[in-house]
Amino acid sequence: MKGPLDGIVVADFSRVLAGPYATMLLADLGAEVVKVERPGHGDDTRAWGPPYTEQGQSTYFAGVNRNKSTRAIDLSSPEGRDEARDLALAADVLVENFKPGALDRMVLGYAELARQHPGLVYCSITGFGAGAGRDLPGYDLLVQAMGGLMSITGPGPGEPTKAGVALVDVITGLHATVGILAALHHRDTTGEGQRVEVNLLSSLLSALVNQASGYVAAGVVPGILGNAHPSIAPYDVFSTADRPLVVAVGNDGQFAALVTELGAPELATHPDYATNPARVAHREELKARLEVLMAPSGADEWQRRITQAGVPCGPINDLAQAFALASSLGLQPIVEVDGTPTVAHPITLSQSPATYRSGPPDLPSD
């Protein structure tokens, strides 16, 4: 079955995570992706292990490089640059995350390639943009710190904590994919390619959504609230008789249903808890009262009862439990490609679904 991007050729000059994630999503949707790697070394993530697949590949590399072919090209040599240029001029899309200006010096920059190939969609991914921040290193952890995410993440005030995955890279990869698809649509309409630029800092600031809007529109600089929500309560992790339970109350009706199931319906009309703003103002004391009510039973029992009452809640799963949950719901979260399990593409298309044609490529021998 052909994918929706069948016939699109992508020259992938990116490495590590944001770019490779974007190009893998395009490859899953049918694009032909040719990954350019340094001879004898390849993408840095080839060496990021353990863990490893049964075939001996780094699972980090394997997680974002299926459905691609690879070519070892030495960009430091004139012959390698000529080979890379030929690849780029034959492609519909080029994705790169070199330091700003690096490919220009190799005569592989946007201006030169667009002059020869006006229909090329050229996507550049940087850490802090190509202007004054061009020399700042684009590492996910640095952007989580410098971009404000760690200032609102952690167990409590004074304990900033990074997310448990390179979240900013993933978000930026998604933004790159959206930009590329928009540029391809523009090209279909006008025949013109264009440059797509995304950077980790701007992607993070956009992804901070309500927290960023609270600062931009109201001047509020948020802090760390642990698992609590700055604008909704109760929306937190609660202790039970055996293990923690997340309860996410989004409105007054859900709160009334919750406290009724917990055996304290009078809390729904208590002046400190009757409305969401009141509950937010009295968040800590409300949490303490709810945990007293939850203490007699375990998380599974409360999940069953609270869910039946129409209130969102659930236990904190590890990854094994999370994949088991997705499987039990019929979501088919794992597919096998060339004998190696991989995480399924997240988008379902009724007429042109994602395909899994090949596993992550081995690095070509010299």
CATH code of the domain in which 255 resides? 3.30.1540.10
Report residue 305 as tokens.
Answer: 């009862």
Element (DSSP H or E) covering residue 96: strand 93-96
**pLDDT digits over 42-76, tens only?**
999 999 999 999 989 999 999 999 999 999 999 99
For residues 165 and 182, what is the distance between their CA atoms, to the nearest angstrom?
A: 27
Report residue 229 as tokens.
Answer: 């929500």
The answer as to whether 90 is a domain residue is: yes
For residues 195 and 121, what is the distance between their CA atoms, to the nearest angstrom?
A: 6
The answer as to whether 200 is a domain residue is: yes
pLDDT of amino acid 242: 95
pLDDT of amino acid 298: 95
The answer as to whether 2 is a domain residue is: no
Among this protein's residues, is 6 annotated catalytic? no
pLDDT above 70: residue 366: no
For residues 233 and 226, what is the distance between their CA atoms, to the nearest angstrom?
A: 13
Residues 24 and 172 in one domain: yes
Catalytic-labelled residue, pool 12, 92, 169, 236: 169
The gap from C-alpha 219 to its chain's centroid, in whole angstroms, comes to 27
For residues 301 and 84, what is the distance between their CA atoms, to the nearest angstrom?
A: 60
- The alpha carbon dihedral of 296, 297, 299, 301 has a sign of negative
Residues 46 and 195 in one domain: yes
Q: Are 271 and 278 in contact (CB under 8 A)?
A: yes
pLDDT of amino acid 340: 87
Residue type, 121: V
